[in-house]
Structure 1
Amino acid sequence: MSSDDAQVNDHVRRAPLFAALDDEAARELRATMEEQHLSRGDILFAEGDEGSTLFVVTEGKIKLGRTAPDGRENLLGVLGPGEMFGELSVFDPGPRTATATAVTETTLIGLGHEDLDKWIRGRPEVAYTMLQSLARRLRRTNEFLADLVFSDVPGRVAKALLDLARRFGVQGDEGVHVTHDLTQEELAQLVGASRETVNKALADFQQRGWIRHEARAVVLLDVDRLARRAR
C-alpha cells in the first residue's frame, strides 16, 4: 500500500460509515465505492437534484449550501477529510436538500443506495453508527438555530472559528493555524450574517489580539477568549 493510499484509508476510517467495521470489512466496502475528483467551484450536486448516493471526503473540502427564494445563500457546513454527507438521500431517496460545491481541489468516494442497503442489512453496527452521525448532525442544526435566535453575530463568528479550528486547525508556536479556504462572503454565509457585520467582528477580534487574518485562513492567538465570546 502506498503512503497516499494509507492516508486515504485513514481518512475513510474516520467516517461514521466505516467506524464500526474491522479492517478487512472496511477494505471490502471501500472497494465498492467510486472515486470522484472535483476542482474548486465544481458542483457535485445541486439542491433539488434527485440523488441516492452518499459521499465521504478523502481530500479537500466541500461546502453544503442552500439558496433562499430571494437569492440569498446560507452555508450549512464545510466538510473535510473523513466527513460524510448525502446520506439523507440514501435512506430517503428524493431531492437533495442542499447544493454540494468543492471549496478546494477535492477527492470523494461515493456509495449508492443499493450497495449501502446490503451492508446495513448484513451489519447492524453500520446502521447504528450512521444513526449516531445523523443524531449529531441534528444536534448541531438545533444549536445553530438557537444561536441565530439567542447569540449575536460576534458570538456566532467566534463559535464558527472554533469549530473550523477543531476540524482543520494545526497547532503552531503562535496559536492554532486554520486554513478554512473560505472567502469572506462564504464565512458570512456560514454564520448567517452579512459580510460587513462579520468583517467588523473579525476586525474587532484582530484588534484585541485574539486572531490574525491570513489569505483564506486565520490564526487563533487566544482560544480561551474566543471560547468565552462564543458562549
Structure 2
Amino acid sequence: MELQGHERCVSRVPIFSHLEMDELEEVFQRVNHRQMKKGEYLFMEGDISSALYVIHKGKVRIYRLNDNGEEQLIRVLTHSDFTGELSLFSDDNESKSYAEVLEDAEVCRIDQKDIYDLMNKYPNISIKVIESFAERLNDSESLTTNISLLNSKEKLLEYIKTHRSDEQLVLTMTKKHLASYLSMQPETLTRTFNRLEAEGYISKINNKTYRILK
C-alpha cells in the first residue's frame, strides 16, 4: 500500500510509528485532515479541546500568556510533530495555551474517543504516549532550569548545544519567537548572537543558519 502524504505524516508520529500496516490503516480511518492558513489557530486559551493534532505541512507555534500578558513560547511544531495530547487525559479539557499557524499548514486531527479506542485495542500506543509525556516533561524542566539559572549567553549556548545538527545550527523559528522561547528580549538575543560570533563560538551563514566553531 502506498501511503498518501498525511498518512505518511501520521505513520511517523512516535506514538503510532511502531504499528503494523493493517493497524495504521485503522488509525488513518479516524483522521480528519484540515487545510489551515497562516494566522489561524488550532485552538486558543479557554477553548474546549480534546483531540490530538499532527502537523503534516507548515509550522504551528504553541505559546502561553503570562500574568502580564506577555507571550512565552513553548515550542514550534513542524512535520510529524503533534500537540493536544495533554487534553486527552485530563478531566479539564479547557486549553491553557494557543496554537497559531505560522505557515500555511496541513493538519491531521484525531478525536479523544478515537484515541481511547485505539489505545484499548493497541496497548503499546499508551506506552508511547507516556514516553512522549516523559520526554516533554523533561524538556519543560530543562527549559525552566535554564531560564531561572542561566544568563543570556548561557541560555543561547545551551540552546545551540541541544538543537545543533553536526556542525550547524538551523533555526526553525524566527528570532523573535526564539527570544520568547528563551525568555529574553529580541534585542538581547541579537546582541547575544553577535557576542557569540565575536568570541568565535559561531559564524553566520545566513539569517537562519550558523556554523558552530566550538
Q: What TM-score results when the alignment is normalised by the length of structure 2?
A: 0.89
1:79 maps to 2:70: no
Asked if structure 1 preserves the Cα contact closer than 8 Å seen for 2:160 and 2:169, the reply is no
In structure 2, do the counterparts of structure 1 residues 104 and 220 end up closer, same or farther at CA, with 3 Å as the change threshold? farther
Structure 1 equivalent of residue 29 of structure 2: 31
The answer to which structure has the higher helix fraction is: 1
Structure 1 equivalent of residue 187 of structure 2: 196
Structure 1 equivalent of residue 146 of structure 2: 147
Structure 2 equivalent of residue 11 of structure 1: 9
Structure 1 equivalent of residue 159 of structure 2: 160
Structure 2 equivalent of residue 61 of structure 1: 59
Amino acid at match of 1:197: T
Cα distance in 2 for residues equivalent to 1:40 and 1:164 = 25
SS of aligned partner of 2:129: helix
- Residues matched between the structures, number: 212
Cα distance in 1 for residues equivalent to 2:145 and 2:2 = 45
Identity of aligned residues (%): 20
Cα distance in 2 for residues equivalent to 1:196 and 1:82 = 32
The runs of 5 or more residues in structure 2 that have no matched partner are: none
Asked if structure 2 preserves the Cα contact closer than 8 Å seen for 1:16 and 1:84, the reply is no
Structure 2 equivalent of residue 212 of structure 1: 204
The runs of 5 or more residues in structure 1 that have no matched partner are: 226-231
Asked if structure 2 preserves the Cα contact closer than 8 Å seen for 1:55 and 1:110, the reply is yes
Structure 1 equivalent of residue 115 of structure 2: 116
More displaced stretch, 156-165 vs 87-96: 156-165
Asked if structure 2 preserves the Cα contact closer than 8 Å seen for 1:62 and 1:104, the reply is yes
Give, in angstroms, the shift of residue 134 of structure 1: 0.6
Cα distance in 2 for residues equivalent to 1:211 and 1:84 = 32
1:125 maps to 2:124: yes
Amino acid at match of 1:41: G
Cα distance in 2 for residues equivalent to 1:39 and 1:213 = 30
Cα distance in 2 for residues equivalent to 1:99 and 1:29 = 26
Q: Among 152, 168, 182, which residue is 1:176 paired with? A: 168
Asked if structure 1 preserves the Cα contact closer than 8 Å seen for 2:58 and 2:105, the reply is yes
Q: What TM-score results when the alignment is normalised by the length of structure 1?
A: 0.83
Structure 2 equivalent of residue 89 of structure 1: 87
Asked if structure 1 preserves the Cα contact closer than 8 Å seen for 2:59 and 2:76, the reply is yes
SS of aligned partner of 2:68: coil
Asked if structure 2 preserves the Cα contact closer than 8 Å seen for 1:64 and 1:75, the reply is yes
Asked if structure 2 preserves the Cα contact closer than 8 Å seen for 1:104 and 1:181, the reply is no
Cα distance in 2 for residues equivalent to 1:13 and 1:2 = 12
Q: Among 178, 183, 188, which residue is 1:187 paired with? A: 178
SS of aligned partner of 2:45: coil
Give, in angstroms, the shift of residue 33 of structure 1: 0.5
In structure 2, do the counterparts of structure 1 residues 149 and 139 end up closer, same or farther at CA, with 3 Å as the change threshold? same
SS of aligned partner of 2:42: strand
Cα distance in 2 for residues equivalent to 1:39 and 1:165 = 29
